[in-house]
Structure 1
Amino acid sequence: MTGSTPPGSPARPEAAARLDLDAALLDTLFARFFDDAALFPPGNAPMADAVPAHRRALAGPHGDLLGPFVIPAARLASLDGPPLDIALIIAPASLDELPDNPGPRVVAVETPVAADKDQTRFAVRTMAATLAPEVTRAIELPRTSARDEVLDALAGTGVRAKLRTGGLRADLFPTVDELAATIRACAERDIAFKCTAGLHHAIRHTDPATGFEHHGFLNVLLAAADPADAEAQLHRTDAATMAAELRAWTPSDAARVRSIFTSFGTCDVAEPVHDLAHLGLLPERIIP
């Protein structure tokens, strides 16, 4: 973790190091918010590096912010060492091929894009029949006209929506209007969501290397809190004001929003922690 200011972050406020953020708010707002997707692009970390790094992060000062280790089912056999909490990426039809005791603690299962309502209903039924009740489930939404029928099929099932928010090509980044509409569609059906890819930093920004416009994870958090005005929240770049608004939340406010926007995958957990520290949203013990 470096001391330089990342894209999308302001210079570190002088007050940040002196901040005494309410511990209950912090624990609620960012606990297990960052799913460790180190194996995936653009990081593409080797398993031999990613797993030890995940264990070190769990034992570090921001370990309580870390969610499960995200891994595709095809690589599960190469995961060794003490058990980890994992989020397994797997097609619904392959769930019954998993061993009864795969070793790692499967705490979440995420499936690829559901093309339509029939595929969604099959995935929901299969996960219900195969997984323990405490395992969280998510189905990636299509970025097509079928989105709403997939959401209709998810409504009332307890299965989360997975929203793609970026990738290695510009077309993998939804526009502000598209992402806002999807967040609103989830809210209208009382469906929680997680995000995958592209949320590298806290605040909306343009990546200087690629020119891609990235959504900020705090923008998405504020949009989840205010879906009727999601477009405006996703456009914001007034980082200091956004951070002040989050600091004014109560733990119950934070719990409500996190029940909607549950987590996001990041290939470098240090990046979001670094951003939050520079915004004064983490106490001194976590400032890098």
Structure 2
Amino acid sequence: MELGLKGRRALVTGSTAGIGLATARTLAREGARVTVNGRTSERVQSTVDALRAELPGSAVDGIAADLSTASGCDELLLRVPEVDVLVNNVGIFEPKPFEQIPDADWLRFFETNVLSGVRLSRHYVGGMRSRDWGRIVFVSSESALQIPTEMIHYGMTKTAQLAIARGLAETLVGTGVTVNSVLPGPTASEGVGGFVAKMAADRGVDAGTVEKEFFASARPSSVIQRFATPDEVAAMIAYVCSAQASATTGAALRVDGGVLRSIA
């Protein structure tokens, strides 16, 4: 399917690994001019170089900025004042018992996972509205609807993203700008892969065994009974960024492997 993204300027936050990197790669493959973002110059440049090598002729650049702070967002916005496609992907997670989560952690998670997307969307939406075309995507999680008891602060931020995306979509009635959320389920991102590998090493078993046990005990409702790949999630994100998704807005689209027991 032709996604109609050739020449569109796209920014994918938190895109040096995992879902963000897979999304940047997919958009670049579709002909978009993609800006990669990460916290360190070395990691960003390495990602840009790898994508250019993999996709000769692609238009990929990068900006190192810590989007967990207002100053980091401002730095990025100065260098990339306009985009057609914004994928708010940057995020952090950390399992921690509720009674051990201090105020500082609640604020850190909210700043990174929620306010980064708010700040960037607030800046870019005006230009999208004036051009009557734009795509804003919040990469949320199934944890937005099924709050994980081991990281309630993370689940809270993912739910907040859904509210922001839906509310913002409703401010754009009658325009060519869409705003959607994508809800991945358990995904084999860099962080998850490292966590699984460490658990496997600590127990002297292979990663496949840990994955099987995880779905048996922690996510038994999963239909696919495996981690999704970042590319599988990126395919959904790329679609809602496309010209073909012009009638999809204000939606929360699941790529969760069926883990949520719901028909809607």
Which fold has the larger relative contact order, with Cα–Cα distance below 8 Å and residues 6 or more apart in sequence? 1
**TM exceeding 0.5:** no
Higher helix share: 2
**TM score, norm. by length of structure 1:** 0.33
